[in-house]
Amino acid sequence: MSAVPLTIAEINALDLAAFVARFGGIYEHSPWVAEKAWQARPFADREALERAMWNVVQQADREQQLGLLREHPPLGTRLALSDYSRQEQSRAGLADLSALERSELEELNRTYEQKFGFPYIYAVRNANLRAILESCRNRIGADAETELAESLRQVSRIAGFRLADLF
């Protein structure tokens, strides 16, 4: 998050433990993504690192993918958040919701999670509450396979933002 940026050469030189310490939180509470992506070194650039991590997620079995999605906190939650999630949600205004807004988001989150078995995930960077709520309302109507794919795509977008912040 606020770590000193490293060059790609420095990243490629990290041993597994240092690499996971640095990048293990890019995918929410899922250091296994960084552990497996480390094997794809050397990375040509940040985009290559991002692709390597995304490939790990895509090649994971369905249970691992669902586990990854379940590691994400509900949007607007008052529960403990990772540093990444707290900053992302705060920047999107989700820390300052009115009681009515919080109630609506909580109800949408509950409905979504009951239907799909994992929390509603949306890359909130540069988003506002209206867009977040509209997206959730629309996505609740999706079928399970479509929504799994969309949620993984959103997770990938979040990871891309987080990686860009480290370079």
- Give the catalytic positions in this structure: 72
What is the SS3 assignment for 51-76?
Answer: HHHHHHHHHCCHHHHHHHHHCCCCCC
Whether the Cβ atoms of residue 73 and residue 85 lie closer than 8 Å to each other:
yes
Exposed, middle or buried by CB within 10 Å (0-12, 13-18, 19+), for 2?
exposed
Exposed, middle or buried by CB within 10 Å (0-12, 13-18, 19+), for 163?
middle
Helices (H) and strands (E) in the chain, counts: 9, 0
Q: CA-to-CA distance for 9 and 18, rounded, in angstroms?
A: 14
